[in-house]
Structure 1
């Protein structure tokens, strides 16, 4: 692995200029272009020699013998870690993200809106991993569907709604559904499922005479179902895949591979879960992550947190390795900050 200290000052300047030009144009960069861009007053022949040396140590590559040079994945990593000048979102970009996200409230809607806006600003596909974690409940209700089934509807304190299908005894009267919901709301409102489950079961035993047998069975079944699936699995949101096509140019095969990789949702969930291990923005370039090794794509992620500063999810973008990292990184970071402030 080449370190920044392994190359001299002149080579660093040429390398930095080459990568910046490549990220802007998406095309291999020639020595004549760099001789005009670096401001180092170097001849094209001198720059060509430096580029050859940088290619020999694995930082540059050339798609064709007569073409210019482009950074390898190792070269991009060196640039991102040591040479890139990261900017900040413009006031207009900040305003757009905050306006689109809205205000505190329904977490699912907030994440959808933030992901869509991030995709639009970066012209990439955006990814959000959100945990279905144990939030305090606001309301429980039962909706009869047919003679043997009912829908248990859970509304948490963020306004998110979860529906669970349960079996009920045939002929169960509507009054039992209402009574069971009233009992659960009295015991569980404002408390998490974990906090309330054990005490609800104790309450049933202590007040056995206050609930009829069918209602008691319904309450027990509801608690058992909640205990069996206390929070569900993580949810994945993907927005803006069409942006990848727009940016593909003639490289449609790579984008098709990326679409195929996005279909493997468990792989993306694993990737985003790995991103939770970092405190801030994490960048995965090309084959650094096996999931995107075929399409040669990059992922930029940042965790978002709840009001207690616990990491509860990850937001990010995926696109070609030719991302405008200096612009994308602060946008992802700021979006995660906006979501952290608003998710409740």
Structure 2
């Protein structure tokens, strides 16, 4: 694509995001800054349409960007705007609590308020907590209670159903091994360590320890909240979404079940910096008319979760991206300073 076509596509996307109406060649001629004829504009627009970057709605002679057009705009043509001082002040003020859960809730609220879309924050997984103590207690022949205590005082109780009966001495040996070799490590570090070292222990004790760690990795119940969502109702005010009742209903089902969102955010957590999913790039049909902008956040240098914004594909990416990016950084700092 030559420079002229890039300028015209950039102008079209920016004006469509701002106005929400198909853009005609006359408008592009007025705002592109190019010294070309209307015929040249029309020819370039025709080429862009054939390449799949723009399309013509049936009700208008003007053009609108396609998902492919948005992707090229975001990757190559967009100029990200710095966050204004008012928004920065609002974020810093909102993320000033000394309670981790309150900080996470505030981050979702701030994302929603500043973007007027839906704000999402994935709750950090407990498995990243540093483990302090583990104990196995015998309940009956094949049922064992596992008690895990973390450095921050959280206590998790899990019941294991085993395929063999363990003696009290075997349970004590497993507890003692854990407490002498794994104290002060995170659950991920413990799992790595055990994979390397448990071959030397009895196979039955190996399975017992692995089962305990697997149980600790699971939520305490299916009702445990994994993603905080704020501002879902803002999407009801978005014309592109509110006119399609079927898609809107499916979108709110995702908000309610949260499983798909958790998978998306978990995937984003493994990438660095801001990630942008436009339409079908997310892999979830209810989000086909939406975009998801995400960024991981950290505690003491370790990524523990992801936050982001869900809105229409016609969103002001150049403004949303720095909001998500800076919110992630401020939340990381606030949580690390607890």
TM-score of the superposed pair, with normalisation by structure 1: 0.71
Q: CA deviation at 1:193?
A: 8.2
CA distance in 2, matches of 1:64, 1:87: 33
**2:15 corresponds to 1:24:** no
1:138 Cα offset (Å):
9.9
Matched, 1:101 2:103: no
What is the match of residue 4 of structure 1?
none
- Find the partner of 1:248 among 225, 239, 244: 239
Are residues 338 and 235 of structure 1, via their aligned partners in 2, closer, same or farther at CA, if it must alter by over 3 Å?
same
Q: May I ask how many residue pairs the two structures share in their alignment?
A: 278
Q: Which residue of 2 aligns with 1:342?
A: 334
Question: Are the aligned partners of 2:108 and 2:230 in contact in 1 as well (CA < 8 Å)?
Answer: yes
Measured in 1, the distance between the counterparts of 2:275 and 2:39 equals 38
1:124 is aligned to 117
Q: How far is the alpha carbon of 1:39 from its aligned partner?
A: 1.6
Q: Provide the rounded CA distance (Å) in 1 between the counterparts of 2:82 and 2:276.
A: 17
Indicate conservation of the 8 Å contact 2:118/2:235, yes or no.
Answer: yes
Greater shift in the superposed pair: 106-115 or 240-249: 240-249
Distance 1:192 1:247 in 2: 47
Verify: 1:237 aligned to 2:223, yes or no: no
In 2, Cα distance between the equivalents of 1:259 and 1:111?
Answer: 21
Alignment partners' CA distance in 2, 1:285 and 1:229:
36
Structure number with bigger Rg: 1
Q: How does 1:187-336 map to 2 (within 5 A)?
A: 229-233=215-219, 235-248=226-239, 251-253=243-245, 254-292=247-285, 295-307=288-300, 309-336=301-328
Report the Cα offset of residue 295 of structure 1: 4.0
In the alignment, is residue 81 of structure 1 matched against residue 81 of structure 2? no
1:181 counterpart residue number: none
Shift of 1:232: 3.9
Change (3 A) 1:251 1:227: same
- Over aligned residue pairs, what C-alpha RMSD do you find? 3.3
**Aligned mates of 2:275, 2:104 — CA distance in 1:** 19
1:229: how far off? 3.7
Contact residue 302 and residue 332 of structure 1 kept, 8 A: yes
1:261, 1:292 within 8 Å by CA — same for their partners in 2?
Answer: no
- Structure 1 CA distance, aligned partners of 2:2 and 2:186? 60
Equivalent residue for 1:34? 28
Q: Note closer, same or farther for the CA distance 1:162–1:107 as it changes in structure 2 (3 Å cut).
A: farther
What runs of 5+ residues in structure 2 fail to find an aligned partner? Answer: 134-146, 160-178, 191-208, 220-224
Residue of structure 2 equivalent to 1:47: 41
> What is the CA-CA distance between 1:255 and the residue it aligns to?
3.0
